[in-house]
Structure 1
Amino acid sequence: MRRRFFILHNPNAGPAARRHYHSTLTMLRDAGAYAEIVETSRHGEGMRVTAEAALSFDAIVAAGGDGTVHDAAEGLLGSTTPLGIIPLGTANVFAREIGLPLSPERVASTLLYGMAWDIPVGQINARPFLFVVGIGLDAKAVAHFEATGTRHLGQAGLFGPLMRALVSHSDSVLRVTTDVGTSEAEWVIVTRAQRYAGGLLLSRQADVTQTKFYVVRFGGHGPLVRLRQLSALACGLLRYDPNVTIEAAEWVRVESDTPVPVQVDGEILGALPAE
């Protein structure tokens, strides 16, 4: 049984997520566990404190969304201290991928007694990532999402930023090189996760416990093509779109002659090139 938890908490959550968080904390404390809590709401803030806490706690817990999980995981690189999750985010993709139960009772039980296992960590431009890199349209949507402050609306808060990105986005030619070959695209997602933006099926073959990536290349020009592809993604039919290809790769490099934004695990990293 684990008794000492260091919790990295992102307080920017809606009322339902806050109730979930406090219920989970109550159950941990009722079981005799001690929890030290540090609040963080900006990408990158939690890495240093997580690395220090790993030396004296039984587990580090990311209480937030995928960005909070990313920060905690980055702080734990090279440590044997396990990482737990209280899913409070918009999409909670990583928690879904590892099959984490969502009820407070089962989350608390998993933190106290659950088995730990290794998850491989990818690298982009010498920075770690857990499950997804988006280049182009979705990175622009993430930038709008962060700027508008609609996280408290949950997945409903994604709609406006996505539509804004769709209308304002201008396609750039992306040169995509993998161990398989070189091609071009207008939007690229590199993933180890089957799901995308919550419960949307992106790649059935992807697996966060494996080192292999799946490279999703979106071709075609203009907002109507992107809208068609987003609709196919929402319906689980993306693999049938004539301008979309999905292939496995061991490594990926993406370049462009124009500035193109890059998001990593749901947070803006910067711009191309990316490898």
Structure 2
Amino acid sequence: MSTRPRIRFIINPVSGTRSKVDVAARIKLYLDHGKLDHDIVYTDYAGHATELAATAAASNYTAVVAVGGDGTVNEVARGLLHTNTALGILPKGSGNGLARHLQLPLNLNNAIKVLNTGEISVIDSGTINDIPFFTTAGIGFDAYISSVFAGNKRRGLKTYVELVLKEVRTYKHLPVKVWLNELEMQTDCFVMAFANAAQYGNNAYIAPLADIRDGLLDVCLVRQLDFIKAINLSYCMLTKQLANVQSAEYFKTKHIRVETEEPMMFHADGEFKGKTSHFEVNLKPESLKVLIPKGKV
């Protein structure tokens, strides 16, 4: 029996903007087969990637590679939490938030080559109401946009920004109560983002100072947002700057509890998860191993 590292590729055949690319053929061409053993499996339904990843981890695979967008990455990573099997990513989505944060190549061929020479690092993850996330989660407007964006045939940053500027005019802030560190506050909430990584995806930085290995979540609270503040916040997100205090406030924490008078939408890694009135958000330190380019730790 071979003692070489084993890698499982999990492919979502309908993910992202480049789904017609023959990934299996690229793997055959660019993976170092003299160094690595591998198999390729395909997802058939929502949640299938988590099952396939967990099975590989239980069988002591060295890594499981998510081939798809942020939703596929989230599913695969869930199956690898608190195991010795590392997450690899071949980005094939529209946002590619975790791949960008880990400085992985967005070019498919180059991303495969990283698997030949990369190294393993350990990162934090988070949960929102016990649902794992790896880049960001949030309540309010960004969750609403996630629900709208999911039904939009056009993808990418331009579409996302257009939706934000269109919907910001009519979306209303809601009162919330927040427990954060030693602070208890009642405030308006237009959006509250919980950032393990710095960006949503597409290099849109909601929390530019977030560090995926520091054991803390960066919380971005936007109390109210008009069109002018939306322009300022969008500009700061695209230029990797902190928004001014009139537009957003930032906190760092390991745990936050939020209660709302009316049910609010929420998302995890850009995937709309529903509505509720109670949120528990927690940081899970050093909970996921990841394959990254050599020297990028």
Class of the TM-score when normalised by the shorter of the 2 chains:
0.7 to 0.9
Instruction: Report which of the two has the higher share of helix.
Output: 1
Q: Using the TM superposition, give the Cα deviation of residue 133 of structure 1 relative to its aligned residue in structure 2, in angstroms.
A: 1.0
Of 98, 118, 126, 2:122 maps to 118
Q: Any residues of structure 2 matched to 1:176-195 within 5 Å, and which? A: 176-183=178-185, 184=187, 185-195=189-199
2:9·2:67 contact (CA, 8 Å) conserved in 1? Answer: no
Aligned twin of 2:40: 36
Question: What are structure 2's unaligned runs of at least 5 residues?
Answer: 281-297
The TM-score normalised by the length of structure 2 is 0.80
The TM-score normalised by the length of structure 1 is 0.86
What SS does the aligned partner of 2:120 have? coil
Q: 1:274 and 2:267 equivalent?
A: no
Of 153, 156, 159, 1:154 maps to 156
Letter of the 1:120 partner, please give it.
D
Q: Using the TM superposition, give the Cα deviation of residue 255 of structure 1 relative to its aligned residue in structure 2, in angstroms.
A: 1.8
Identity of aligned residues (%): 24
Instruction: Report which of the two has the higher share of strand.
Output: 2
Q: Using the TM superposition, give the Cα deviation of residue 177 of structure 1 relative to its aligned residue in structure 2, in angstroms.
A: 1.9
- With over 3 angstroms needed to count, the CA separation of the structure-2 counterparts of 1:225 and 1:102, relative to structure 1, is closer
Aligned twin of 2:293: none
Q: Deviations over 1:123-180 (max 9, x none)?
A: 2212222121121111101101112343xx4334424543453244222123222104
Bigger shift: 187-196 or 4-13? 4-13
Computed over aligned residues only, the root mean square deviation of the Cα atoms, in angstroms, reads 2.6
Aligned twin of 2:49: 46
Letter of the 1:106 partner, please give it.
N
Aligned length: 271
Of 65, 68, 72, 1:68 maps to 72
Of 234, 239, 243, 2:243 maps to 239
More RCO (CA 8 Å, sep 6+): 2
What SS does the aligned partner of 2:58 have? coil
Question: What are structure 1's unaligned runs of at least 5 residues?
Answer: none
What SS does the aligned partner of 1:256 have? strand
Q: Distance in 1 between matches of 2:48 and 2:143?
A: 21
Of 1, 10, 32, 1:7 maps to 10
- With over 3 angstroms needed to count, the CA separation of the structure-2 counterparts of 1:235 and 1:3, relative to structure 1, is closer
Q: Distance in 2 between matches of 1:87 and 1:171?
A: 34
